Structure 1
Amino acid sequence: MLIRGTGIGGGVAIGVVARMADPLPDPVERASAIGTEAEIERANRALAAVAADLEARGGRVGGSAKEILEAQALMAKDPTLAGQVADRIATGTTAERAVFEGFAGYRDLLAGMGGYLAERAADLDDVSQRVRAVLAGVPAPGVPDPGHPFVLVARDLSPADAVTLDLGQVLAVVTSEGGPTSHTAILARESGLVAVVGARGADHLADGEEVIVDSAAGTVTQGPTVDDLAAATERIAERAARADAPIRPGALADGAALPLLANLGSADAVDDAVRLGAEGVGLFRTEFLFLDAEEAPSIEAQQEQYTRVLAAFPGRKVVVRVLDAGADKPLAFLATDDEPNPALGLRGIRSLRAGEHVLRDQLTALARADAATDAQLEVMAPMVATVEETRYFTGLARELGIRVAGIMVETPSAALIADRVLAVADFASIGTNDLAQYTMAADRLLGSVAALQDPWHPAVLRLIGEVGAAGRNLGKPVGICGEAAADPLLAVVLVGLGATSLSMSPHALADVRAALARYGTVDAVRMAGAALAAEGAVEARAAAEAAGAPSVSESDGR
């Protein structure tokens, strides 16, 4: 039996299931036996203990994991939440019940906001569970330890659980909830862990049963046959061989160069990217410098971080995205009014124009870092939708010393007028995650519509092809910096659609490098055409695969 979900990465794993324990039950409502002051003291001690534990875990990890855990610690220390808990205790209830109600109320508030904030509502549930576990004197629900390697199956993983997985024991992760940008998905990409998220049938997987988890296909196979196991074992061995192979520049089988770059979320991730063979950086997200800050960081503080990244890639391309703020990532120093549909509100370049001083400081810091290093800096603006926005950004960037200024293509409008946009910008980089979201009208943070967020859909591929054609006609580079580039087969199709570079999580580089080396330019164009002619995402993948299969005569000469 096949269970389908959204695969993260291109790996495959074989193992027995170990299910994560169910959450703590909701505490019953009853009167306190020790009085209001004692209950408030218990609650405050538990909140402080959880905050300290989360901060300690964050201090032991880096990258996105650290940011996630620190954000959770701030939730546990939030004075507003503590006040709500105290108010409920004052009515005579217990600390356990007050924590449950206080966090649940705030959770519902975030869930109602939609988008990124709704996804973070699950973090509150996890913090609530941990605080109530401290109050009850029991371990918080977490990752099981069966004493042998296993496939972890859960409703979803909390950030605290995800970042402390023992990768020597956890062969793969399968979740019944969560989407392609959930914490589980983000951390699986960063660590190279095999994962399938949003697999609705995963609730039926039982402890101890053997499964095959195929993240390339987005499937979990229950009761695999001998042939299934043999095929999966062969793929595991092939992937291990690719990871150990000498690192070469990305290229197609006919020798056409295709630079393979890294997506980075902070300067701390640079060493891994270099070790895994990144030929540069295709997307350096700068949000880590700004999130949770009361005011924008200084030019000097920004320059220091940008210099770290640029210095690691002398002579290589480093593409930096300026702050993608607003809407689902609100910042105190770029405050906007509440928006009923934040995904369509003041986000990206729109938000930066409303606070131009922040953009000017960031561009100044980047220009200074560029002057101090030998990397090939390119800077791009997020969420551009019009030629006028393109002209605004590129003009300001050049005024402040940026030599190469481009845009991200994340909206259908920018893709449809790519010829006019690229007449103004130096390059374009396609963010496939958001482009799929806006093309398919499917929130990329919601597991319930994960099937519609598939970059294989011909509607999304057609828009990518429009940008590729415009870049080819105008002689302008067109990169891909969404996680679609990490899908080895789709990477070939993207090249056929006109991509001139691919950027992805560093752990995906070996798989994509090997995939490109199996196909020539003519193959890539043929596979892209087959995918474009299909009716849907599943059909597009199958069509591309069939079009890429060599004939007998071709296989003799290839």
Structure 2
Amino acid sequence: MAELKGIGVSPGAAGGPVYKVAPPPKLPTTRPAALDTEVEAKRAVAALASVTAELTRRADAAAAAGKGEAAEILRAEAMMAEDPELADAVAQAARDGMSAAHAIDAALAVHRAAFEEAGGYLAERVADLDDIRNRGVAICLGLPMPGIPSPGHPFVLVARDLAPADTAQLNRDEVVALVTEDGGPTSHTAILARSLGIAAVVRCAGALDLADGALVIVDGGRGSVRVDPGAAEVEAIAEAEAARQERLRSGGGPGRTSDGHQVALYANIGRAKDLIDDVEGVGLFRTELLYLDRSDAPSYDEQVAAYTAVFAALPGRKVVLRTLDAGADKPLPFLQQADEPNPALGVRGLRISWRRPDVLETQLKAVAEAARSASAEVWVMAPMVATPQEAATFVAACRAAGLPTAGAMVEIPAAALRAGALLEEVDFLSIGTNDLSQYTFASDRQVGELAELLDPWQPALLSLIAMCASAGKAAGKPVGVCGEAAADPGLAVVLTGLGITSLSMSPRSIPAVREALAGHTLEDCQRLAAAALAAETAELARQAVLTPVT
């Protein structure tokens, strides 16, 4: 039986026939003899408006269905489609003699190139631009909208990559697994697959060569796609997965190993409505969602209201709030930041307070005010801390605002290497594995070709995590992980063995991680962690932990 290999980004196993996403609409090769440029300009701009309306409709539907992450991604894409500069560029291309469809294609190509050159967050949005282009061109040409097939029975969806608008409308009863040739561990596909609980493998070479209807079994934990299994095996996989899902739904309670070692399992959220029942608390409250896509900073009162809503939803439980994490891949217009030759290595995260101390001061005061009337246990941490001196300055600002528990995120190798010194200043550490991987391997996390370097099973990354955990144990202070690595059940076992005290992830991922921990003793976790650390590659580390002992 042939097997394709990729990067597993959402755990679980599922089997079924392959169906591929419809290809993007092709432009006519011949140009009409005569064009009314104004008519074409109006048609092109109207097509963009139609795209915006459809994306907004889908965002509202996703929000109503409780798909918070999908709704946020769709709203961001809708804002890109209605950008006045894009409409002006499209209209000008048409006035220069292009048909409406060609004008949309040309203008989006320019924007696409600019986003790719900028890198970081903007490079990640190239898939959004491609989707806007495809939808706009299809409207102009009167062609079917590109998107997900609907064969009428459960299937495995295969694509080069998935547009956010397509991923957001996935139905778990139809799409049992996802496989893409592009993408990476932090792509939209990966994030939304985890939030939906759909097995997914990305960066899987050869996936597009699979014929529609071919049977496959996708293992999102191991990152494998087995081709042409028997129908009986596919049925057995489906039954086993259904039983697993039922176990997860019926489970509950705090995270702990089978011998009682506690590992707190927290949720990553952006707002109160992202919460679900049965969470021990919040390990990452992303406050930047309050600031994104606006020309001015949220007011003090607006911030107090948003923070109060989250704290009130978690009485008696811990909420770890991350202060504004912006700059580089998350530019904010109101900050008026100057262009930088390498934004990922520039003024971002906590460093924004160097230029705009008022932004951090206002946020900390708002957090303190919201915490004053709440019974939640509020902790605050700063992103992109590099040195103990930066940590000390942040802690002092928190104390001045009336916030007693202050920590630092470990996203820079320098912070991991000096974790002991950091813990002399802060009350806790939280490791952001996405950025820590990016900086450790000098690999932009939005560049698909580098996805293997950003595999969270990389032994070098695990070594840095182990250093932080060891420093935490010596200092008697907690060290958690709030990056995407925490959502991988197999890796959660390893992180526990390394000494990590809490794991924070998408709320949908918590049950599977809870089950994985409950199936191992602490000694098991430590043994598997040692095996992963000793491995030479991410793939060998994964095999050392996930391969059953016979």
Fold-level match, TM-score > 0.5?
yes
2:105 alignment partner in structure 1: 100
Partner residue, 1:216: 221
Contact 1:27–1:100 (CA under 8 A) maintained in structure 2: no
Matched residues in 2 for 1:302 and 1:386: separation?
Answer: 28
| TM-score between both structures, scaled by the size of structure 1 | 0.94
Instruction: Report the equivalent of 1:288.
Output: 289
Gaps of 5+ in 2: none
- Asked if 1:56 corresponds to 2:57, the answer is yes
Query: Which of residues 103, 110, 128 in structure 2 aligns to 1:123?
Result: 128
Amino acid at match of 1:52: A
- Once the two structures are TM-superposed, the CA of residue 57 in structure 1 deviates from its matched residue by 1.4
Query: What SS does structure 1 have at the residue aligned with 2:206?
Result: helix
Separation of aligned partners in 1, 2:224 and 2:155? 17
From the superposition, tell whether residues 458 and 226 of structure 1 become closer, same or farther in structure 2 (CA, over 3 Å).
same
For residues 234 and 144 of structure 2, what CA distance do their matches in structure 1 show?
Answer: 36
Deviation at 1:234, TM superposition (A): 5.8
Question: Are 1:73 and 2:74 an aligned pair?
Answer: no
Q: 1:244 to 1:56 in 2, by over 3 A?
A: closer
Distance 2:436 2:479 in 1: 15
CA shift for structure 1 position 152: 0.9
Match for residue 150 of structure 2? 145
Query: Is structure 2 residue 399 aligned with structure 1 residue 394?
Result: no
- Tell me what 1:482 maps to: 483
Q: 2:110 & 2:128 partners in 1: Cα distance?
A: 13
Q: Give the drift of 1:9.
A: 2.3
CA contact (8 A) 1:242 1:511 kept: no
Q: Distance in 2 between matches of 1:27 and 1:438?
A: 44
Q: Please provide the CA RMSD for this pair.
A: 1.8
Question: Once the two structures are superposed, what CA deviation does each residue of 1:45-94 show, in whole Å capped at 9, x if it has no partner?
Answer: 21211111111211222323222222222222222122222222222221
Contact 2:16 2:234 in 1 (8 A): no
Hey, what does 2:205 align to over in structure 1? 200
**2: distance between equivalents of 1:75 and 1:530?**
46
User: How many residues are treated as equivalent by the alignment?
Assistant: 545
Shift in Å, 1:119: 1.6
Q: 1:218 to 1:96 in 2, by over 3 A?
A: same
User: Which residue number in structure 2 is paired with residue 517 of structure 1?
Assistant: 518
Matches of 2:546 and 2:179 in 1, distance apart?
A: 25
1:242 aligns with 2:285: no
**In the superposition, relative to structure 1, how do residues 442 and 85 fare at CA in structure 2: closer, same or farther (>3 Å)?**
same
Q: Does 1:259 align with 2:260?
A: no
1:155 matched to 2:163? The reply is no
Q: Residues 327-346 of structure 1: matches in 2 within 5 Å?
A: 327-346=328-347
Q: Does 1:383 align with 2:384?
A: yes
Of 90, 94, 99, 1:89 maps to: 94
d(CA) in 1 for partners of 2:491 and 2:232? 26
The corresponding residue for 2:312 is: 311
Say which is worse superposed, 359-368 or 333-342, in terms of deviation. Answer: 333-342
For the residue of structure 1 that corresponds to 2:320, the secondary structure is: strand
* 1:279–1:38 Cα change, 3 Å: same
Query: Who is 2:183 aligned against?
Result: 178
Q: Aligned partners of 2:28, 2:402: CA distance in 1, in Å?
A: 59
Question: Would the aligned equivalents of 2:47 and 2:139 in 1 still touch at CA under 8 Å?
Answer: yes
Shift of 1:395: 0.9
Task: Report 1:440-459 matches (<5 A).
Answer: 440-459=441-460
Residue 233 of structure 1 and its aligned partner are, at CA, apart by: 4.2
Tell me the distance in 1 between the aligned counterparts of 2:230 and 2:54. Answer: 44
Please tell me the residue identity of whatever aligns with 1:112: E
Paired amino acid for 1:467: C
Paired residue type of 1:395: A
**Higher mean displacement: 178-187 or 401-410:** 178-187
Amino acid at match of 2:190: A
Would the aligned equivalents of 2:3 and 2:225 in 1 still touch at CA under 8 Å? yes
1:367-378 alignment runs, 5 A limit: 367-378=368-379
- Matched-pair contact (CA < 8 Å) for 1:279–1:316: yes
Separation in structure 1 between the aligned mates of residue 30 and residue 88 of structure 2, nearest angstrom: 19
Q: Per the alignment, in what secondary structure is the counterpart of residue 112 of structure 1?
A: helix
CA contact (8 A) 1:408 1:431 kept: yes
Is 1:47 the counterpart of 2:34? The answer is: no
SS at match of 1:247: coil
Do residues 133 (structure 1) and 138 (structure 2) align? yes
Unpaired runs of 5+ in structure 1? 552-558
User: Partner of 1:278: helix, strand, or coil?
Assistant: coil
Q: Identify which of 250, 268, 274 aligns with 1:269.
A: 274
Secondary structure, counterpart of 2:118 in structure 1: coil
TM-score, scaled to structure 2: 0.95
User: C-alpha separation between the residues in 1 aligned to 2:99 and 2:504?
Assistant: 51
CA 1:505–1:327 in 2, change beyond 3 Å: closer, same or farther? same
User: How far apart are the structure 2 equivalents of 1:433 and 1:519?
Assistant: 26
